[in-house]
Amino acid sequence: MRVGVLASGRGSNLQALLRAFPEGHPCVSITCVMSNRPECLALTHARSAGVVAPAFPRSAYGSRVEQQRAMAAALVAAHVDLVVLAGYDQVLTSSLLQPFAGRIINIHPSLLPAFAGTLHAQAEAVAYGVKLSGCTVHYVIEEIDQGPIIAQAAVPVYDSDTEDSLAQRILEQEHQLLPAVVKWIAEGRVRIEGRRVVILGGSGQCEHC
């Protein structure tokens, strides 16, 4: 299965994917990495691993629709089967969603549907006083963070937690959960049944979580 990754930041989830699926892996090939931010570390990590990693800065296009249309064309040209959002900070438009409908997944740092639609889910979890948080891998649809949930991993929220300390513990789970889900999809074990996602031959819980 050929995977294209979209990232905008440090690229730690991308690094987890590159470790899980090195060149020559029998099930998954990280074919390309793309970003809306030319200076982001994710592109550096990808290029260091020998992965094609172009940037598509918003300033180079007349609109976000045109920008993402160019990204979609590049993903199609790379024969990508699955698009993984790994810390990508732009809302997707139909120009990218439609060509890859049902083939885009995202990882979000909360137990959806809690704290959806925000880039500050960890801070909101601490402020709200929840006792459990975590991360969710879900399919991407037009409604932000509303797509069918594939898998989740929970972490406790301690009274002493700050946004940073909670984010770090959640990130450790993200690094396990996201590669696990990509592998399940590559193995044909993930099936959507309406709002529910069924993991064939498993519970939908990463064995490391």
- The catalytic residue positions are 108
Q: Judge contact between 116 and 158, C-beta under 8 A.
A: no
Tokens of 8: 């905008």
The tokens 């984010």 sit on which residue? 167
CA distance 26 to 41: 27
Tokens of 66: 């045109």
Q: Judge contact between 71 and 34, C-beta under 8 A.
A: yes
CA distance 91 to 101: 15
Q: Judge contact between 68 and 42, C-beta under 8 A.
A: no
CA distance 35 to 20: 21
**Which regions of the chain does DSSP assign to beta strands (E)?**
2-6, 29-34, 82-85, 104-108, 132-139, 149-156, 190-193, 196-199
CA distance 181 to 179: 5
